[in-house]
Chains A and B, each alone.
Chain A
Amino acid sequence: MKIRNNVALSDSGFLFNPSSGDSYSLNETGLFIVHCLQNNKSEDEIIKEVTKEYMIEKGSFEKDFYDFKKLMESFNLID
């Protein structure tokens, strides 16, 4: 799971896909995950980092994480 190279991300969580012209606003958790993706973290590493940072149970986060991943796939943001 890799975020596309040309995707632009600001510090405030504003994400722009120059291939489609679409833009999105990420919340703090979304921004954290996309930063992890930009740093080439694996899915397991992301789950580990988020559960450590936000004190959330792994099972509970995984469900949201895979939903988020599906959404990013549908928006052509990840390869």
Chain B
Amino acid sequence: MSKPKYTIAVTGLNAIDSPGPGLSVIKALREAKSFTVRIIGLSYESLEPVIYMDEMVDKTYQVPYPSAGQDVLFDRFKYINSIENIDFLFPNFDAELFNFISIESRFKEELGIKMFLPTMDQFNARHKATLYEFGLKHKIKVPFAKLAYNTNEITPVATEFGFPLVVKGKFYDAKIAYTVGQGVQHFNKIASEWGLPILLQKFIYGTEVNVCGVGDGKGNTIGMIPMRKLYITDKGKAWAGITLDSDPLLSITKDLIATTKWKGAFELEFIKTTDNEYYLLEINPRFPSWCYLTVGAGQNQVESLVNLGMGKKVKPFISYKTGKMFIRYSTDMIVDLKKFEQISTIGEL
């Protein structure tokens, strides 16, 4: 029986030092066993590297920033879809998810484009600002955190928890403060970039471990693989990592997906303490940039997500290989000015 061929659009093409997940998602899609693909890249900037990787993307279109609103986004996709007839769409950035979740059903009904995203309630419940309450509700340890709107709030929080203290932006960025002075500095820097409020979080000592997985929206975990970062860049991103064998972590993940009926891809970020306790730091409602490791470890979770979105029956993975590593690298591509000109002027390549 011949495999279906899907046209799949993917964002997150910024394969830079703090990479978007797009390239890993595309690599996983190209290794799918149950279908073949035509890949449509969706870019925000003309210098996103994956635009120029001809072996990865078949065609790229620029799309409007999330701040342009849902109507502008819809109109752009209407145009792209009239040419490409997209089957499935992979939004890969946190910041664009609100819009795509909001217009998911409109995309399906009016354009025939399918997605497999968390519900708006799931998306909102796991925000950094409400994660502590989320942890209480689902009986998962989450470091205590307080929302702050003013630098004056740092001292009372530090008096209660002591230093170091984690200063976090509401969407991105986190820095560790060892003094009030540092706390104020981090607060102002992050607030100027990402706005208020700022999250002041108790620092938990331990090792960071992450889980990449997929929930089917009915309480079943389709795939999950834990990973420890082996090499971390100055931006806190994994440059190398290794799959782990961790029954407690898998059990926490499975319970969380069952109680929340999580729909779609996720990355859970935990701290494992020296007492072997796991504290949940973040839930990212999308695949992480290291998701290609799941393919190497025997679970093509990206392929599973597409099949779920296309309404196919998907069996949960029951095993994976531990001790599989990923190591990122950077390289230079040589690109003709003509290509840069084309994506910059007409927004297509």
Residue in B209, B241, B244 whose beta carbon sits within 8 Å of that of A18 in the complex: B244
**Which A residues are in CB contact (< 8 Å) with B245?**
6, 18-19
**Which A residues are in CB contact (< 8 Å) with B243?**
18
Least CB distance, A43 to chain B, in whole angstroms = 25
Q: Which of B223-264 contact A (CB under 8 A)?
A: 227-228, 230, 241-246
**B276 to A, closest residue via Cβ:** A76
Q: How far is the CA of A38 from the CA of B230 in the complex (A)?
A: 27
Question: Across chains A and B, which 7 residue pairs bring their CB atoms closest together, nearest first?
Answer: A21-B228, A18-B245, A18-B322, A21-B242, A6-B245, A21-B244, A16-B323
**Which A residues are in CB contact (< 8 Å) with B209?**
21
Q: Which residues does B use to contact A, with CB under 8 Å?
A: 207, 209, 227-228, 230, 241-246, 322-323
Least CB distance, A9 to chain B, in whole angstroms = 12
| Chain A residues within 8 Å of chain B by Cβ, number | 7
Residue pair A19, B323 in contact (C-beta under 8 Å) = no
Residue pair A20, B323 in contact (C-beta under 8 Å) = no
Q: Which residues does A use to contact B, with CB under 8 Å?
A: 6, 8, 16, 18-21
Least CB distance, A8 to chain B, in whole angstroms = 6
Could you list 15 further interchain pairs (A-B, Cβ under 8 angstroms) beyond the known A19-B245, A21-B209, A21-B244?
A: A6-B245, A6-B322, A8-B323, A18-B243, A18-B244, A18-B245, A18-B323, A19-B244, A19-B246, A20-B228, A20-B244, A21-B227, A21-B230, A21-B241, A21-B242
**A22 to B, closest residue via Cβ:** B228
Q: How far is the CA of A20 from the CA of B242 in the complex (A)?
A: 9
Q: How far is the CA of A6 from the CA of B228 in the complex (A)?
A: 17
**Which B residues are in CB contact (< 8 Å) with A6?**
245, 322
**Which A residues are in CB contact (< 8 Å) with B242?**
21
**Which A residues are in CB contact (< 8 Å) with B246?**
19
> What are some 22 contacts across the A-B interface (CB < 8 A)?
A6-B245, A6-B322, A8-B323, A16-B323, A18-B243, A18-B244, A18-B245, A18-B322, A18-B323, A19-B244, A19-B245, A19-B246, A20-B207, A20-B228, A20-B244, A21-B209, A21-B227, A21-B228, A21-B230, A21-B241, A21-B242, A21-B244
Q: How far is the CA of A19 from the CA of B323 in the complex (A)?
A: 10
Q: How far is the CA of A18 from the CA of B244 in the complex (A)?
A: 5
Q: How far is the CA of A22 from the CA of B244 in the complex (A)?
A: 10
Of the candidates A18, A19, A20, A21, the one having the most CB atoms from chain B within 10 angstroms of its own CB is A21
**Which A residues are in CB contact (< 8 Å) with B230?**
21
**Which A residues are in CB contact (< 8 Å) with B244?**
18-21
**Which A residues are in CB contact (< 8 Å) with B207?**
20
Q: How far is the CA of A78 from the CA of B244 in the complex (A)?
A: 17
Q: How far is the CA of A18 from the CA of B230 in the complex (A)?
A: 13
Q: How far is the CA of A20 from the CA of B208 in the complex (A)?
A: 10
Q: How far is the CA of A21 from the CA of B229 in the complex (A)?
A: 9
**Which B residues are in CB contact (< 8 Å) with A20?**
207, 228, 244
Q: How far is the CA of A15 from the CA of B242 in the complex (A)?
A: 14
**Which A residues are in CB contact (< 8 Å) with B241?**
21
Of the candidates B228, B242, B245, the one having the most CB atoms from chain A within 10 angstroms of its own CB is B245
**B244 to A, closest residue via Cβ:** A21
**Which B residues are in CB contact (< 8 Å) with A18?**
243-245, 322-323
Q: How far is the CA of A19 from the CA of B245 in the complex (A)?
A: 5
Q: How far is the CA of A50 from the CA of B241 in the complex (A)?
A: 36
